[in-house]
Structure 1
């Protein structure tokens, strides 16, 4: 892993998340992979082994999740300073290898100040793909796999702008409580965390739905969810969307070339996003409801107006 990443060189960094840093790895035969170097001594949940859990994750295949193609997990001796003396300790180094995706993470493309995605059709395709990937994780496995850190930089894009969810399964690998410690304490990720998860530690598929809603709103509006410490679930951002995106005229001002079908898609995505970020998790839709709505089906939960205030 050190060899193919140039000893984890800073100019090979593709991105980072709460779980570690992603590097571009160039294989001897010329291929490219993405190597996520996890934090040193990243704990594995009790009763689980790293090798077994990662092998299980490698078996998961879906168009909208990142393909996990290999891993490394080994103990190394390291000299560290302790109480004024140098001592040798065992350090666990872990890496996950993913299929390389040339367009990088979602956060590099969707915002108005940096975004290259001016085409609504591409944005809508990305929203649908993310939802299909989350449907796979929540509904198509033996039991729901809760992501717990669904944010724009944990979604990667291939060369055709097909979105792929990354970092899935790490909550299963590290354990939910350890994952919660990672995510809640990292600046920049709080704006996507459901209130019941952030403040009470309640973990369910509905906490992923809240994160999904924030991402859908950001992709639809092109506006960045700028979380501040006194508003860690970004309720002000949600209120702002209620005010500035609630008429056809406001939407067309943002997307002047929209046809009638595109206008309906934007309105559907706003309704979905705002329902997903309801402060009361019982008012949020399931991922199955969301996929149905995106496919043009009538879903009763979306006929109820979303609450404007938490």
Structure 2
């Protein structure tokens, strides 16, 4: 028989189960805590907990939509492309404010010796800031119809445009009943002072003229197609093309410019304002304007730059023939190179000049749909391989006809950024 070893002394027998504790009679057990069973709610409490936040949320949403519908009209207009005085734009304009004392010191208290130009909307003065930067200060005249709010709206447009071929707005002053616009100083002033001057025009060789043509085209492409805003200038002319120290062109004077919505292709106005000889025929006769009317003005400038002659120079002869039609007749007779500015002699490429004349004639065609966009013009100027279509005859209209239509023609002689005269806004 096998004897099993006795269990070790370290091994303990299981403890007997404790006897149940008797609950004294008459006492109720305590309810379970939240950690074991969770908090219990009555049905009415649960309904209130759900209902009150829901009602509050509905009231907030209703109040929001009621406030949106009842906002003042002026607030709503801020979202329209025709208005620029929203909070963001006002902040942009406010950040450009310059003290009147700074500008008085910079211009020698607007001394006549610092005056660079004069015109119907005010005078332009050269100034030097404390840091040595040169500026051009446009001082709007007291008789200018442009109010402070309109000026702020207009500034908010120009302040958003940034391109090397556009004149740069640096600041504004609206103190002591003064309305002052501060632009970058452009030392060579305007293109017309060189192009039509008997002595200075010899400084414009073909290389410079071609650079000016190309720069204007690129600036217009930016305005029409590449900037965050779509702008139609409406007053393109040689006196609104400024030249920096390297003879790079800068488009200036957005006084009668118009802002287009993203889907807008043209506008119509009953108040035709511009400069005779540069306005597109559909704008002169019917008040229609678009990016193609700017293309037409560009074409006029191209032909003026090539020839050194003004379109419809009525200062010499009221019956002088339109430059566009002279160029067309010469083009058809294949003698158009005879119209070249004689000061250039042989310092140019005939093929390049002919291509520029061809592009100019394409831009001044009577039908706006036939005129190229400025992006196409830039490509045409940049490559000889881009094919050019045959141009059609330019429209012909007389100055007397435009006068009979009541067209207000600008003959401003300010050769720095001129004061803007109207608030840029799209035609409805």
Task: Give the TM-score normalised by structure 2.
Answer: 0.57
Deviations 1:40-81 (A, max 9, x none): 443369xx75335424422322111111111123463xxxxx
Matched residue of 2:203: which SS? Answer: coil
User: Is this contact kept in 2: 1:24–1:32, CA < 8 A?
Assistant: yes
Larger Rg: 2
The 1:171/1:308 distance shift into structure 2, 3 A limit, reads: closer
Does residue 1:265 correspond to 2:265, yes or no? no
Mark the runs of 5 or more structure 2 residues left unpaired by the alignment.
Answer: 1-102, 260-266, 397-428
Match of 1:202 in 2: 288
- Distance of aligned partners of 1:72 and 1:24 in 2 relative to their CA distance in 1, 3 Å threshold: same
Shift of 1:101: 1.1
Q: Is the 8 A contact 1:144 1:205 kept in 2?
A: no
Residue 64 of structure 1 contacts residue 162 of structure 1 at CA under 8 Å; is this kept in 2?
yes
Matches for 1:158-173 after TM superposition, within 5 Å: 158-168=244-254, 171-172=257-258
**Length, aligned pairs only:** 280
With over 3 angstroms needed to count, the CA separation of the structure-2 counterparts of 1:285 and 1:279, relative to structure 1, is same
Instruction: Tell me the CA shift for residue 199 of structure 1.
Output: 2.8
Instruction: Say what the alpha-carbon RMSD is for the aligned residues.
Output: 3.3
Cα deviation digits, residues 212-239 of structure 1 (max 9, x gap): 111111111111224449x99x972211
- Structure 1 match to 2:116: 14
Gaps of 5+ in 1: 77-92
Distance (Å, rounded) in 1 between the aligned partners of 2:252 and 2:395: 31
Relative CO higher for 1 or 2, CA cutoff 8 Å, sep ≥ 6?
Answer: 2
What CA deviation, in whole Å up to 9, does each residue of 1:65-107 have, x standing for no partner?
Answer: 111111123463xxxxxxxxxxxxxxxx422211101111111
Find the aligned partners of 1:10 and 1:179 in 2 and give their Cα distance.
39
Query: How do 1:214-293 and structure 2 match up within 5 A?
Result: 214-228=300-314, 236-244=322-330, 246-247=334-335, 250=338, 254=342, 255-258=344-347, 262-293=349-380
Which deviates more from structure 2 when the two are superposed, residues 160-169 or residues 287-296? 160-169
Given that residues 17 and 153 in structure 1 are in contact (C-alpha distance below 8 angstroms), is that contact kept between their aligned partners in structure 2? no
Change (3 A) 1:21 1:211: farther
Partner of 2:164: 63
Question: Could you say which structure has the higher strand fraction?
Answer: 1
Q: Secondary structure at the match of 1:34?
A: strand
Name the TM-score, length of structure 1 as normaliser.
0.77
CA deviations 1:24-44 (Å, max 9, x no partner) are 123344432011223444336
1:263-304 CA-to-partner distances (Å, cap 9, x unmatched) read 11111111111221223322221111111110125555x322
